[in-house]
């Protein structure tokens, strides 16, 4: 008996090469990077320009910064500081939580967009996003429920350990060194167990996504079908997990090397830009306002940094997804309309097939 996880490597490499390099399409690379991004990075001013109030309006291009803009930034900062620290902290936590939920929802839809883009070898983010929006919402809800269940499972496992070490009764400040060591080692072991279980569940969900797409089932029904196939042929999945782990480690090493090179190059470039902007702004406005202006600049640079790192790792993500789809073709053949398969769907009836594939789920 052959192992599908091994057989899928060569075919996945061929499909990755065809998708990304035959031919090289930068716009296609950028769109795939966007999809992968959602799925888953005191000098004194001195001289004549020490304060913007004393600036005479002549000089470099920085002098074109309007006085009103600087006033707006300063007034916003003063208004923000009028709130208490607790209020700002609560507001920040709420906004961050809502932002994370929004990104998680978009990422769930993008899971379907990513699969469809690779299956068709044709990236259309807006079209696929609208087609698979409801499936993405269902996946988002499923992940929320699984996340809550995982958290509950962790608490159930951790509570006996907390009572055993006495932290619930005496507090951590009164525990001895042996008890603290037992607590730390126990929590690490529990986290390890929970991480393994979460990884297994995530693997089943990833396999269920294309099953849901190409067998016209809901994500819940597709997950049930995958679990049923697992009971029928569990050996292939166990070897699949081991093989994927090895591939992930090898890919991680490659991405780390390329990422380090990208970090150094990008870091030097952004550092030069920051120095130029700092000295330019310092020549015309006060030091306190300079740092306020740098907040959006640093935010933009952080986004650029994350995007570049995602761009570097995107080909590996494409390969790993093609590997999963190729494995699924053999392990649970559902007729995935892969662009290079013998059951390729022509452009003339592709839209008709997509309408059928995205019809209401069972």
Sequence-distant (6+) residues with CB within 8 A of 213 are: 112, 115, 116, 132, 135, 357, 358
Whether 137 has a pLDDT exceeding 70, the answer reads yes
Report the percent of the chain where pLDDT is more than 90: 44
* CA distances to 181, 182, 233, 295 from 177, in Å: 6, 9, 48, 43
Q: How far apart are CA 266 and CA 341, in angstroms?
A: 40
Domain contains 137: yes
pLDDT tens track for 57-86: 334 343 444 545 455 555 555 555 555 566
Whether 146 has a pLDDT exceeding 90, the answer reads yes
Residue 157 pLDDT grade (very low, low, confident, very high; cuts 50, 70, 90)? confident
Residue 362 pLDDT grade (very low, low, confident, very high; cuts 50, 70, 90)? low
**Domain that includes residue 185, residue range:** 4-357
**Per residue, what are the HEC states of 14-37?**
HHHHHHHHCCCCHHHHHHHHHHHH
pLDDT tens track for 324-342: 999 999 999 888 999 887 5
- Residue 64: what pLDDT? 43
pTM of the model: 0.75
Nearest to 208 by CA among 43, 339, 331: 331
The domain total for the chain is: 1
- Residue 60: what pLDDT? 37
Whether 172 has a pLDDT exceeding 60, the answer reads no
Residue 290 pLDDT grade (very low, low, confident, very high; cuts 50, 70, 90)? low
**Per residue, what are the HEC states of 236-292?**
HHHHHHHHHHHHHHHHHHHHHHHHHHHHHHHHHHHHHHHHHHHHHHHCCCCHHHHHH
Nearest to 43 by CA among 203, 210, 280: 280
Residue 360 pLDDT grade (very low, low, confident, very high; cuts 50, 70, 90)? low
The more confident residue out of 45 and 200 is: 200
Q: How far apart are CA 339 and CA 154, in angstroms?
A: 42
Span 134-161, average pLDDT: 91
The more confident residue out of 120 and 57 is: 120
Residue 301 pLDDT grade (very low, low, confident, very high; cuts 50, 70, 90)? confident
Query: Are the C-beta atoms of 117 and 123 separated by less than 8 Å?
Result: yes
Q: What is the average pLDDT value for the chain, to the nearest integer?
A: 80
Q: Which of 220-229, 278-287, 310-319 has the lowest mean pLDDT?
A: 278-287
pLDDT tens track for 185-194: 888 899 999 9
Domain contains 362: no
Span 131-143, average pLDDT: 94
The more confident residue out of 89 and 285 is: 89
- Residue 274: what pLDDT? 78
* CA distances to 43, 44, 46, 277 from 282, in Å: 8, 8, 9, 8
Q: How far apart are CA 41 and CA 52, in angstroms?
A: 36
Residue 158 pLDDT grade (very low, low, confident, very high; cuts 50, 70, 90)? confident
Domain contains 331: yes
Angle at which helices 219-232 and 234-282 pack, to 10 degrees? 130
């Amino acid at each position: 008996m052959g192992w599908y996880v091994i057989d899928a490597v060569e075919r996945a490499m061929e499909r990755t090469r065809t998708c990304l390099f035959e031919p090289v399409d930068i716009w296609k690379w950028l769109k795939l990077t966007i999809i992968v991004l959602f799925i888953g990075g005191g000098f004194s001013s001195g001289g004549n320009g020490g304060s913007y109030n004393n600036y005479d309006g002549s000089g470099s291009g920085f002098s074109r910064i309007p006085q009103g803009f600087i006033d707006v930034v300063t007034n916003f900062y003063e208004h923000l500081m009028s709130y208490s620290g607790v209020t700002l902290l609560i507001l920040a936590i709420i906004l961050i939580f809502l932002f994370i939920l929004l990104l998680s929802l978009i990422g769930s839809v993008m899971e379907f967009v990513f699969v469809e883009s690779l299956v068709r070898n044709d990236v259309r983010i807006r079209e696929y996003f609208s087609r698979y929006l409801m499936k993405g919402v269902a996946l988002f809800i499923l992940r929320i429920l699984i996340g809550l269940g995982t958290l509950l499972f962790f608490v159930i496992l951790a509570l006996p350990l907390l009572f055993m070490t006495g932290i619930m009764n005496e507090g951590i400040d009164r525990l001895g060194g042996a008890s603290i060591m037992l607590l730390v080692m126990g929590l690490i072991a529990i986290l390890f167990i929970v991480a393994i279980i979460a990884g297994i569940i995530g693997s089943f969900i990833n396999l269920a996504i294309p099953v849901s797409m190409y067998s016209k089932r809901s994500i819940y029904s597709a997950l049930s079908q995958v679990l049923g196939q697992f009971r029928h042929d569990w050996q292939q999945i166990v070897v699949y997990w081991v093989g994927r782990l090895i591939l992930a480690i090898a890919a991680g090493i490659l991405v780390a090397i390329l990422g380090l090179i990208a970090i150094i190059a990008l870091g030097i470039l952004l550092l030069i830009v920051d120095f130029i902007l700092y000295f330019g702004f310092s020549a015309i406005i006060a030091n306190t306002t300079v740092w306020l202006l740098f907040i959006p600049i640093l935010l933009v640079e952080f986004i650029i940094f994350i995007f570049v790192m995602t761009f570097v790792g995107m080909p590996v993500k494409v390969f790993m997804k093609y590997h999963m789809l190729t494995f699924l073709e053999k392990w649970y053949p559902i007729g995935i309309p892969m662009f290079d398969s013998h059951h390729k769907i022509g452009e003339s009836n592709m839209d008709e097939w997509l309408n059928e594939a995205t019809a209401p789920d069972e």
